[in-house]
Amino acid sequence: MPLMTTKPMFDLAYDGGFAIGAFNVNNMEITQGIVEACAAEKAPLILQISKGAREYANMRYLKHIIDAAVEEHPEMPIVIHLDHGDTTDLIGTCLKDGFTSVMIDGSHSTFEENIALTKKCSDMAHAGGVPVEAELGQLGGIEEHVVGLSAEEYAKNLDKFLTDPKQAADFWKRTGCDSLAVAIGTSHGAFKFKTEAKLAFDRVEQIMKTCPGLPLVMHGSSSVPKEFLDLINKYGGAMPNAMGVPEDQIHMAVTKYGVCKVNIDTDLRMALTAKIREVFATKPGEFDPRKYLGPARQAIVGMVKRKLHMLNCAGKSEAIIKNWEKMGSPVPAFYKKGCCCGA
């Protein structure tokens, strides 16, 4: 089975009480850990790649790693998605590279500029049958390539930054985007909140009403698991006051309020870092990368398996494949089996 688009997934997730986990990949071990967990749990998967990941790993390597995952697991429904695309050029490149879903993030521009950029990217992507995720409203947190707001600024002005439900309807109509990343109180990175997180579920409800049928996406959904935070801090790391979105709130956003896609990157970074730190601290003579990257990869497997249950998407692969087949097994026109280098 080739990589598929998000459509057969979101069709079922929309009112199926589950969401698809969208996990960021930057190298082989991270990808293998995620894929192994999803294969074991029979869960659909969105592998997402940021501009920073493309620059770090080189897209050819990432594409081949993902193609290897598809070959290893022909039974798995997998999407390859651009995370936080910021220009039409990058969208065009990703379409040529065979991405089966792209995000254009114009959320830091004005409303009208965001609409113009998103519309242009939707037209480009739709020409090849590729769906587009857009973003409206502003999340907190600061990530490379994602200029956000400080936690303090964000918390003080929360209402102003959350997605406006009426604007969302107008935005959807005028851009033709296929899914929408909404600001509902989540935040990127490991330092999301000063006090306990509370997601704005009322906003989700309102947006679902003003935009019926539009799949909603929750970025900044890492939970900063205590077990990894403790290991990092115990073994020489310094991440005081790191705090994420409690898993029960994400579960509620998905099962009760209908969020369809949940983005997770920070927790992968934390699992990897925690295990590497542990090996370095407890076995200072160890210098074989397989001896620390191996346990790090296993930590990702365990963590992702847990997330799949939180998202209620374990066991949903088969239904999604059936839905994809019912749709005529569509493959985006830009998808090229094998290689983004033309070979």
Two structure tokens written together for 288: 């074989």
* Structure-derived torsion over alpha carbons of residues 293, 238, 308, 149, reported in degrees to the nearest 10: -130
Site for ligand 13P in 42-101 (CB under 6 A): 83-84
Q: Could you tell me which of 106, 131, 129, 126 has the C-alpha nearest to residue 116?
A: 106
Give yes or no for a contact between 125 and 102, defined as CB atoms under 8 angstroms apart.
yes
Catalytic one among 11, 15, 67, 83?
Answer: 83
Active site residue 83: yes
105 binds ligand G3H (CB under 6 A): no
Two structure tokens written together for 217: 């996406």
Identity of the residue, 67 or 83, whose beta carbon is nearer to ligand 13P in the bound complex: 83
> Which residue do the tokens 């280098």 mark?
341
The burial of 176, by beta-carbon neighbours within 10 Å (0-12 exposed, 13-18 middle, 19 or more buried), is given as middle
d(CA 52, CA 21): 20
Identity of the residue, 125 or 217, whose beta carbon is nearer to Zn ion in the bound complex: 217
Q: Binding residue for ligand G3H (CB under 6 A) from 59, 79, 130, 146?
A: 146
d(CA 253, CA 267): 18
188 binds ligand 13P (CB under 6 A): yes
Q: Could you tell me which of 318, 306, 303, 316 has the C-alpha nearest to residue 43?
A: 316
Site for ligand 13P in 114-173 (CB under 6 A): none
108 binds ligand G3H (CB under 6 A): no
219 binds Zn ion (CB under 5 A): yes
The one of ligand G3H, Zn ion, ligand 13P, none whose footprint includes residue 182, by CB under 5 to 8 A per kind, is none
Q: Binding residue for ligand G3H (CB under 6 A) from 7, 63, 81, 84?
A: 84
Q: Which stretch binds ligand G3H (CB under 6 A): 13-21, 120-128, 143-151, 245-253?
A: 143-151
d(CA 66, CA 35): 9
221 binds ligand 13P (CB under 6 A): yes
Residues ≥6 apart with Cβ < 8 Å to 128:
95, 332, 333, 334
Number of residues that bind ligand G3H (CB under 6 A): 12
Identity of the residue, 186 or 317, whose beta carbon is nearer to Zn ion in the bound complex: 186
The one of ligand 13P, ligand G3H, Zn ion, none whose footprint includes residue 135, by CB under 5 to 8 A per kind, is none
Give yes or no for a contact between 217 and 263, defined as CB atoms under 8 angstroms apart.
yes
The one of ligand 13P, Zn ion, ligand G3H, none whose footprint includes residue 53, by CB under 5 to 8 A per kind, is ligand G3H
Written as one string, the DSSP assignment of 156-195 is HTHHHHSPPHHHHHHHHHHH--SEEEE-SS-BSSSB--SS
Residues ≥6 apart with Cβ < 8 Å to 316:
12, 16, 18, 42, 43, 44
Site string for ligand 13P, 261-290 (x = CB under 6 A): --xxxxx-----------------------
Identity of the residue, 228 or 324, whose beta carbon is nearer to ligand 13P in the bound complex: 228
d(CA 27, CA 185): 29
7 binds Zn ion (CB under 5 A): no
261 binds Zn ion (CB under 5 A): no
d(CA 247, CA 72): 30
32 binds ligand 13P (CB under 6 A): no
Q: Which stretch binds ligand 13P (CB under 6 A): 201-209, 260-268, 285-293, 329-337?
A: 260-268
Q: Binding residue for ligand G3H (CB under 6 A) from 2, 27, 52, 252?
A: 52
CB of 267 to ligand G3H, least distance (A): 10
Q: Could you tell me which of 325, 331, 327 has the C-alpha nearest to residue 129?
A: 331
Which residues are at the interface with ligand 13P (CB under 6 A)? Answer: 24, 83-84, 188-189, 219-222, 263-267
Q: Which residues bind ligand G3H (CB under 6 A)?
A: 24, 50, 52-53, 83-84, 143-146, 188, 265
| Catalytic positions, written as ranges | 83
